[in-house]
Amino acid sequence: MKRRNFLALVGTSLVAAPVWSNVYNNSNIPENKAIDSVFPDLPYAYDALEPSIDAKTMEIHYTKHHKAYYTNFMAAIKDTPAANLTVKSLFAEISKQPMAVRNNGGGYYNHQLFWENLSATKTEPSAELKAAIEKSFTSMEKFKEEFSTVAKKHFGSGWAWLVAGEDGKLFVSETLNQDNPLMDVAEKKGTPLLALDVWEHAYYLKYQNRRPEYVDNFWNVVNWDTVSKRFQSK
Ligand code: MN3
């Protein structure tokens, strides 16, 4: 998180910045806060997720791809009412916006979520999230199998998601390009809990055409703390 957001949370006391996951709450969930006025930080070093996701891919993905979505999104909403919305409100009526806002706004938000969904530290889902996954998919293994299959088979560029529906039930879905489940154009809508980028730029340097291997290794670096916190605060 950015220093200024952190200071807003703790007032003026100058204490060491806490671990990202310790301060994850409603005020800094990406879709609920104001659109970032500066390009948001990556919450770890480029090589933090080696060997599952290599440093060069992370660096290019963050500094080139994510940065370009952010820059183009800011240009697309400049001096429009959209600039004052949270992305959640913007995405709820994204069908009324130009494609530049939909594609770049999605790219800005989806990558923020994706970075937060990854961690170098091994984590486990909370008891509450685990119970909800077992209720919706029978078991954690069945959930991972369904999510992996969707991610591996997704045709073209896009994303795989674990989503909490409005009825509280969890489901797996996929979206094209930079669309996401918060958008009114999404076939299956809800609150995204876990995101996986399956655009070729997310894995091609290391895995080339072997997307299934990238998807299998993704499970080694999932930040279940953040996914659990998103589930609990949705
Ligand atoms: Mn990407």
172-216 per-position pLDDT tens digit: 999 999 999 999 999 999 999 999 999 999 999 999 999 999 999
74-92 per-position pLDDT tens digit: 999 999 999 999 999 999 9
Cα–ligand 1 centroid distance for 158 (angstroms): 9
Confidence band of 26 (pLDDT split at 50, 70, 90): low
Cα–ligand 1 centroid distance for 54 (angstroms): 14
pLDDT, position 25: 55
Cα–ligand 1 centroid distance for 177 (angstroms): 9
Percentage of residues in the chain having pLDDT higher than 90: 82
* Amino acid letter for position 201: H
Q: Taking CA 196 as the corner, what is the angle to CA 54 and CA 30, rounded to the nearest 5 degrees?
A: 105
Cα–ligand 1 centroid distance for 232 (angstroms): 26
Cα–ligand 1 centroid distance for 175 (angstroms): 13
Cα–ligand 1 centroid distance for 14 (angstroms): 35
Cα–ligand 1 centroid distance for 12 (angstroms): 36
Cα–ligand 1 centroid distance for 111 (angstroms): 6
Residues, beta carbon < 5 Å, ion ligand 1: 65, 197, 199, 202
Model pTM score: 0.88
Cα–ligand 1 centroid distance for 18 (angstroms): 27
44-69 per-position pLDDT tens digit: 999 999 999 999 999 999 999 999 99
pLDDT, position 121: 92
Cα–ligand 1 centroid distance for 24 (angstroms): 23
123-174 per-position pLDDT tens digit: 999 999 999 999 999 999 999 999 999 999 999 999 999 999 988 899 999 9
Cα–ligand 1 centroid distance for 13 (angstroms): 36
Cα–ligand 1 centroid distance for 200 (angstroms): 8
106-117 per-position pLDDT tens digit: 999 999 999 999
Cα–ligand 1 centroid distance for 229 (angstroms): 23
Q: What is the average pLDDT score of the chain?
A: 90
